[in-house]
Amino acid sequence: MILKTSAEIDTMAEGGRRLATVLATLRSEVRAGVTTFELDRRAEELIRAGGDVPSFLNYSPGGAKKPYPFTLCTSVNDGVVHGQPSERPLEDGDLLKLDLGLKHGGFHLDAAVTVPVGTISAEARRLAAATEEALYVGIKQARPGRTLGDIGAAVQEVVERNGFSVVTALTGHGIGRELHEDPSVLNVGKPGEGEELVAGMVIAIEPMVAFGKGAVKQLKDDSFATADGSLAAHFEHTVAITERGPKILTVSR
């Protein structure tokens, strides 16, 4: 666990603001007929125009067969995370997950949103809403004296109360000068258990939720999809733990 100073958190907050702005622009450009490859090129263009560097481009996470060749992760429908952009046009009714990171001032920021393409089903709307709610409920627990188990339990309660399943094989993470740092931030847990949270920690909290069962399969391109083919949703923020409570870094201000 690498704690950040207040000055470093301020630097990360500026990077998070820039990332949130890029994600908002991408979200506004999502529509039927647009390809995820076009969104990827747009993401890189916007990040570099701001003087920053894409975090995911050529990144090699543990277990990956080869470096990730894109700036943006685009997972569609049953795709959970790490989906690779393609020339497939988005279709009305698709549920698109946009996961993006950038490096600013030596620090990485990471955020994700689930975006409807055109008119989506009521079930897809419920899934996305519950996943986003779970993110913010989990963030409320990110304060000194609470534990990682408090975050996981809060996320899990919202997801299961709505009749969905947490994807337990995938987790959030610490973040800073490295894209992935300790600790792992699970989306399940028991209140009071796990590592205690202290001021200076910066973590990426990211509920990944399946409409059906939470089991996943890893595809040939290293992306993950639900094993039963059910819809998935994903939301993420980079959050600093401060003496005053959680500070969401990946928001426009």
pLDDT digits (tens, 9 = 90+) for 99-113: 999 999 999 999 999
Tell me the per-residue pLDDT of 200-230, one tens digit each, with 9 for 90 and over: 999 999 999 999 999 999 999 999 999 999 9
User: Closest by alpha carbon to 19, among 215, 181, 249, 174?
Assistant: 249
For residue 63, what pLDDT is reported? 61
Is 252 contained in some domain? no
Consecutive sets of 10 residues in the chain, 253 residues long: mean pLDDT of each?
96 98 98 98 98 96 80 98 97 98 98 98 98 98 98 98 98 98 98 98 98 96 96 98 98 88
Angle at 187 between CA 182 and CA 183, to 5 degrees: 5
Instruction: Judge whether 203 lies within some domain.
Output: yes
Of 83, 101, 126, 37, the residue nearest 225 (C-alpha): 83
- Is 239 domain-assigned? yes
Q: Is 1 a domain residue?
A: no
pTM here?
A: 0.96
- pLDDT number for residue 203: 98
**∠ CA 84-47-74, rounded to 5°:** 20
Pair 131, 233: CB distance under 8 Å = yes
Is 253 contained in some domain?
no
In a domain, 38, yes or no: yes
- The confidence score (pLDDT) of residue 66 equals 84
How deeply is 41 buried, as exposed, middle or buried, from its count of CB atoms within 10 A (0-12, 13-18, 19+)?
Answer: middle
Residue 140 inside a domain? The answer is yes
Q: How far apart are CA 194 and CA 232, in angstroms?
A: 27
> CATH no. for residue 147?
3.90.230.10
Angle, helices 36-49 vs 6-28, to 10°: value is 140
Domain count along the chain: 1
Q: Is residue 172 part of a domain?
A: yes
**In which domain, by residue range, is 33 found?**
6-247
Q: What is the pLDDT of residue 253?
A: 75
Q: What is the per-residue pLDDT for 60? A: 84
